Each structure stands twice: as structure tokens, then as C-alpha cells.
Homo-oligomer: A and B are copies of this chain.
């Protein structure tokens, strides 16, 4: 079975909102083993919507739409699908009762146009909406399926999880499963250069590289009769890649470096504290973005000024004078200082020149030191992160944060 995603809404065409619905549905469909070759966006226009629907149904077994189920005159999805299949619209009394109840609870008046949301093409399977007024629905006809979901992401995702996914799972005869291998500190073309033949050779499972900021991901996907078989097909491929890129792989299915760091520290029962200069709080913010970070993260210091480096971290005035704030020595003293001040198992630091100002010939923009220390070991990296163009401050800060997080994983390698 393959599907297409068709998102309806002029606000998408105008760029007023980002289409997170398409990404969400795409991911869910992939996880269900339903292929998806096209996504489209069309505005609240009857003719173009009908044309897009016709095209999508000519290419796919199933079309999932979002949007256009609301009460206003330009909400046209149900009516357009009904017309496509030649179905009359019928009142669904339970939906009408439910809607009146919801509006009453919210203290909103029931206006005549709300009634529109309780009319459905004859024979539709109705998905009640427990987060809003517009129900979703599915139509099966002529060997095709059209599933219509509301546009607001919270309504759409809740309806998908609770009602649409079970409906779809009951219909499929094979499963598709994927794993994603995360590599850091290697470029996409270098990965592909080494893997080129392997990628061509593997048809099932397939291997696909994705370049993300600062990392490369390799997605291994198998199609099989069941989950166990798919997993068994993927395992040797994943093991081989992990061995081949052992110096770069930091995890499989780990989401990102900060998730990997928090998981690793939690697994080891270790705590961390962070002292940041050039990253300015980004490392701490990334770690604390992970639910449950409070188990492993004690505190952070964003020491932009030299005074704060001395006062909060105990960096020695002499180090600052002799080597400067952007130096291997200062990075180490910062990491040691935050570790000592906080009592954390690991101290992590960053100091560097993010630009655009502040660079010198000896210490150019992009020069960054990151250090990670625990009781047994001290690691420092000297990084040259400039790409030589304007407006790279954010990029340098991002990379520096990623290298810092990665250094924690390196430091923890010795702990089995």
C-alpha cells in the first residue's frame, strides 16, 4: 500500500505556518510500512483541491488530507471528496450533539455554520475529535481510501494516534522498520564515498545517508513480513556500518547528541556541570531540553566576562593574562572549576571566538576550545570552526556545542 499526504490551507501556501502535519504523518506512515512518494499543499480553493485529489488518487492507494474540515465556507475537503466519489452529504446526529456540547462547555454560541461540521459523505467512517469541534473521517470506495483529518496539529495528532493508526494497522500485510545510525565529525560525502557500493548493493534493507547540521545519519530500512524478520535483516548491516565507522558512530536511534549524553550519564549514574563562554548557555540549554535532565545536570555557568570566569569558576588571573580566555589552559580551568564548584562528576567547558568581531590573526574567529574532565581524565579539543563567511556566529556556536557534547561521550567511553 502506498499513500499520499495532501495538506489543505491557504495559510500554508502563504507561509504563515510551517507544515508540521506533513512531517508528522510522513513519519507515522513510514513507521507503518506505508510508502509515501508525494506530499502536496493546496489552498482553500475548490477547483484546485479537486484536481489535487484526483491526481493523488491516480498515483496512490490512499490519500490522507489535513485541514478544510472547519465550519467556514472555505472549508471544502469533505464536500470535494464526496463530489469526487459521487456521494451525497448526510447529517450525523451524534456529531452534531457532541459539537453542541463542546461549544456549550467552552461558553461559545452554536452558530448555524457549525452545523456544517456534522455533515459527512454517505458511508463515511467518522473519527470523533476530542480536542476540537471538527470530526475526521475515512471513505473507502473504488479500491481507494481517503482519510480526512483536521488541520490544527494537536487535534490531528491525537486523532491519528487514537483512531487512525489502529484503523491502518489492521489493514497491512507487511511491515517496514528502520534504524538510524548517528555519526559525528565526518562529512556526508566522506561517508558516502566509503559506503557507495554498499548502498547500491543493498536493496532490502536499504541504506540512506542524511546530512544534518554537524552530523550524518544513515537510515537502514527493511521491508518484511513481520517485525522480527525486518530486525534480523537489518542487524548484520547495522553491525557492519558501526564497525566500519567506529570512530564516528555515537549511537543508533538516539535522536541527537544531547539525548545520547543524557542517556549515557543516566546509565552511568553520573552528573555533569557546564561552564560556557562562546556557546553562551547553548550546551546547558540543550542538555536541559531533555526531559529528566535534572537527574544528571547540576548547574551551568555562562561566563562571558573574564571577571565571571574568575569569580564563578576560579580561573586564575595569571592564566587569563598569560594565555588569554580563549586557550587550552582556560578551557581546562573552566571545566575543573565548574566541576569543583558544583560537585558534579564531570565538568565541561567551552571557550572560543564565535565572531563576527573579536578575532585576531593569532586567534581567529572560529577558534574554540572545549574541555571535559572527570576525576580520572582530562580531554581538550582545539577546534577551527570558521567557514570563512559572514554570519556564521550561530553555526560556530552550534558546532562548538555539539563538539562539547560529543566530548562527554568520548570521556565516558572508558566507563563500561
Contact = CB atoms under 8 A, between A and B. Distances in A.
Interface of A: 10-20, 22-30, 36-43, 45, 48, 52, 55, 70-74, 102, 105-109, 111-114, 130-131, 152, 154, 158, 178, 187-190, 192-193, 196, 208-211, 213, 217, 219, 274, 276, 279-285, 287-289, 291-294, 297-305, 307-308, 311-312, 341-343, 355-358, 384, 386-395, 397
Nearest to A384: B107
Contact of A189 (B17, B28, B113, B158): B113
A393 B300 CA distance: 19
Contacts of A130: 389-390
A360 to B, nearest CB: 15
A170 B95 CA distance: 52
A39 B26 contact: no
Nearest to A114: B189
B15 A28 contact: yes
B208 A10 contact: yes
A282 to B, nearest CB: 4
Nearest to A113: B189
A118 to B, nearest CB: 13
A23 B28 contact: no
Q: Determine chain A's interface SS by DSSP, over half rule.
A: mixed
Given A16-B210, A301-B302, A72 B188 contact: yes
A201 to B, nearest CB: 13
B27 A38 contact: no
A125 B52 CA distance: 32
A208 B16 CA distance: 10
Nearest to A386: B105
Given A12-B23, A71-B188, A189-B111, A342 B308 contact: yes
A276 to B, nearest CB: 8
Contacts of A18: 18-20, 22-23
A350 to B, nearest CB: 11
A190 B395 CA distance: 36
Contacts of A394: 154, 289
A150 to B, nearest CB: 11
Contact of A23 (B19, B106, B211): B19
Contact of A70 (B70, B188, B274): B188
Contact of A38 (B41, B188, B384): B41
B30 A105 contact: no
A297 to B, nearest CB: 5
Most buried by B among A70, A154, A341, A394: A154
Contact of A37 (B20, B43, B299): B43
A288 B302 CA distance: 10
A392 B153 CA distance: 13
A190 B152 CA distance: 18
A42 B48 contact: no
Contact of A71 (B106, B189, B292): B189
Contact of A291 (B11, B106, B303, B355): B355
Given A13-B37, A15-B25, A15-B29, 9 more contacts: A14-B178, A16-B211, A18-B20, A37-B48, A38-B40, A102-B388, A111-B190, A288-B304, A289-B393
Contacts of A114: 189
A102 B308 CA distance: 37
Nearest to A131: B389
B10 A15 contact: no
Contacts of A397: 288-289
